């Protein structure tokens, strides 16, 4: 992972791709790198959908290695939903392939004039940026089939029509081993930012590029065997009958290289399509009262195809039901609305802009922000798979700390710190649960990292890394928020109210009356 690949979409004469050495970003990867680049290079007050924003795509520290469960990608930008720096973290093959190709980050900068659309290809043979006007409006499944016909061994990061429309519910799809767009960078409207950059897809073709060799091969083999063993015996990361092709739900994908966190928690559908992703299943059932697996699979397929965040879309559909646009539980109506989002009708645009826009347009109280699983202990506790993990957390402590709000806040904070660190390694967040309870597995994970890179990191270093990432994000976001105005009278008009010149009045601290 020697280089940062910067693609300037504003460059005169068309997009320009340049490789840079890591420079001051040396040692960073994944979320630590996306966060650092944005914090250093994006003006906090810029428009998320303006040319000054950057979309940073970075594999983890362990991506492209032979270690287990390290296929997570980090995608960050100032997001259009909240205007804040937020990072999202999908599975798929892209991280592994970028790692093998030695690309520490792809940075999409600027924005093309006149709404031009491009396809980026990254391979052993170099980087290409080609006009992609013929791909305009193409849905994710069709696009990925098209990619597969040309580069069957590649991974693809792409946007559907919703991303091209630059709507806040737009995702970036990330393909699995079969080049299917089943993983998604979903939160915060990252797909809208990619759409604004005029990039329809980033195709990553590793060609013959091999898994990256460890600095200390013997130590790596030992540590990663121990690590894998720890994952295999843990319920959320292993599977009794086949510990080396694991996944909590057992959907048939190897957690080891694929990151099964998305596809693993599916359940069977009878229509031959992939079953609904975990997020679609819970958001569309809880928010919309849709429980038929085939209906959920159909909605999931449509949303993945158009590039629409399943969590926020489920919530927006629920609001549409509350507003009376469709009936509660109406799966066909929900599918019709999702199709409208893909087509860009006015109602579809409202839906694809997310729950707050849906609430605004139908005069409803806006819903409170909803954490995507597993971003907090709340979600963790409510989630089907997470329930077991929470039970274990409960039993592994004194059993009462999860009951008090204060303790839950602490659990949430520490999970966030741990997650920020794990998002930098490329290891899946499920691993957090395994290492939380199995001290030896944690040590084995750190040893695996050290052996891979010839480092001498301690567990404390990872905590420090996680905290630094959160602090960097927090500092950036503080700068996004406007400073408090000073309301003391002074200057040319103060005298108009007969205040003696130079006599600054005291500030009064009371708040109610005058």
Site residues for its own copies, 353-372, by CB under 8 A, read 353, 357, 360-366
| Binding flags for its own copies, 6-45, as an x/- string (CB under 8 A) | ------------------xx-xx---x---x--xx-----
Closest CB to its own copies among 292 and 327? 327
Closest CB 282 distance from its own copies, rounded Å = 24
Cβ distance 276 to 328 under 8 Å?
no
Closest CB 50 distance from its own copies, rounded Å = 5
Cβ distance 462 to 454 under 8 Å?
no
Beta carbons within 10 angstroms of residue 208's beta carbon: 7
Closest CA to 312 of 336, 333, 338, 345: 338
> Which tokens sit at 151?
């580069």
Rule CB under 8 A: is residue 291 a binding residue for its own copies? Answer: no
Among 82, 229, 378, 414, binds its own copies (CB under 8 A): 414
The pairs formed by 234-238 with CB atoms below 8 angstroms and a separation of 24 or more are 234/433, 234/434, 234/437, 234/438, 234/441, 235/388, 235/389, 235/392, 236/385, 236/388, 236/389, 236/430, 236/433, 236/434, 237/69, 237/428, 237/430, 237/431, 237/433, 237/434
| Binding flags for its own copies, 427-466, as an x/- string (CB under 8 A) | --------xx--x--x---------------xxx-xxxxx
Closest CA to 154 of 187, 189, 130, 119: 119
Q: Please state at what angle helix 293-306 crosses helix 310-322, rounded to 10 degrees.
A: 120
Site residues for its own copies, 175-234, by CB under 8 A, read 192, 195-196
Closest CB 267 distance from its own copies, rounded Å = 30
Rule CB under 8 A: is residue 77 a binding residue for its own copies? Answer: no
Among 416, 455, 457, 480, binds its own copies (CB under 8 A): 416
Site residues for its own copies, 382-411, by CB under 8 A, read 393, 397, 401, 407, 409-411
Closest CB to its own copies among 205 and 309? 309
Q: Classify 309 as helix, strand or coil.
A: coil
Closest CB 269 distance from its own copies, rounded Å = 31
Closest CB to its own copies among 92 and 112? 112
Rule CB under 8 A: is residue 483 a binding residue for its own copies? Answer: no
Q: How far is CA 153 from CA 58, 304, 383, 473, in A?
A: 20, 21, 34, 35
Cβ distance 202 to 157 under 8 Å?
yes
> Which tokens sit at 200?
């329809």
Closest CB 326 distance from its own copies, rounded Å = 13
Rule CB under 8 A: is residue 502 a binding residue for its own copies? Answer: no
Rule CB under 8 A: is residue 103 a binding residue for its own copies? Answer: no
């Amino acid at each position: 992972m020697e280089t940062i690949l910067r693609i300037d979409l504003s460059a005169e004469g068309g997009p320009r791709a340049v490789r840079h050495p890591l420079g001051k970003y040396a040692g960073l990867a994944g979320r630590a790198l996306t966060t650092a680049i944005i914090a250093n290079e994006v003006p906090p007050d810029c428009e998320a959908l303006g040319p000054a924003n950057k979309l940073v795509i970075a594999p983890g520290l362990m991506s492209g290695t032979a270690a287990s469960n390290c296929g997570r990608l980090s995608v960050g930008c100032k997001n259009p939903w909240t205007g804040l720096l937020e990072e999202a973290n999908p599975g798929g093959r892209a991280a592994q392939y970028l790692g093998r190709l030695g690309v520490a980050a792809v940075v999409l900068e600027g924005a093309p004039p006149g709404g031009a659309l491009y396809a980026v290809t990254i391979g052993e043979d170099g980087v290409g940026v080609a006009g992609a006007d013929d791909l305009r409006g193409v849905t994710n499944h069709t696009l990925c089939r098209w990619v597969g016909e040309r580069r069957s061994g590649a991974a693809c990061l792409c946007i559907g029509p919703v991303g091209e429309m630059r709507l806040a519910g737009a995702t970036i799809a990330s393909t699995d081993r079969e080049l299917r767009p089943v993983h998604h960078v979903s939160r915060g409207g990252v797909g809208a930012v990619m759409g604004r950059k005029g990039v329809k897809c980033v195709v990553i073709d590793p060609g013959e590029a091999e898994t990256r060799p460890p600095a200390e091969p013997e130590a790596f083999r030992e540590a990663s065997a121990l690590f894998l063993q720890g994952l295999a015996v843990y319920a959320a990361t292993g599977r009794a009958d086949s510990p080396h092709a694991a996944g909590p739900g057992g959907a048939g994908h190897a957690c080891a290289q694929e990151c099964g966190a998305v596809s693993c928690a599916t359940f069977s559908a009878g229509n031959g399509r992939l079953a609904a992703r975990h997020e679609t299943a819970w958001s569309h059932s809880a928010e919309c009262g849709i429980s038929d697996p085939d209906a959920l699979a159909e909605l999931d397929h449509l949303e993945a195809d158009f590039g629409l965040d399943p969590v926020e879309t489920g919530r927006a559909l629920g609001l549409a039901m509350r507003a009376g646009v469709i009936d509660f539980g109406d799966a066909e109506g929900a599918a019709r609305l999702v199709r409208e989002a893909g087509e860009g009708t006015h109602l579809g645009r409202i839906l694809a802009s997310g729950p707050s826009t849906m609430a605004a347009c139908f005069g409803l109280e806006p819903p409170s922000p909803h954490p995507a699983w597993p971003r907090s202990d709340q979600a963790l506790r409510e989630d089907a798979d997470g329930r077991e993990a929470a039970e274990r957390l409960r039993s592994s402590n004194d059993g009462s700390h999860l009951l008090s709000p204060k303790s839950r806040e602490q659990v949430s904070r520490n999970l966030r710190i741990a997650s920020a660190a794990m998002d930098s390694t490329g290891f899946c967040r499920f691993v957090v649960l395994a290492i939380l309870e199995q001290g030896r597995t944690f040590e084995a994970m750190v040893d695996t990292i050290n052996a891979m890179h010839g480092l001498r990191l301690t567990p404390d270093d990872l905590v420090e890394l996680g905290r630094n990432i959160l602090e960097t994000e927090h500092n950036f976001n503080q700068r996004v928020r406007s400073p408090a105005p000073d309301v003391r009278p002074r200057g040319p008009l103060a005298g108009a109210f007969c205040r003696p010149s130079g006599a600054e009045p005291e500030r009064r601290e009371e708040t109610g009356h005058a």
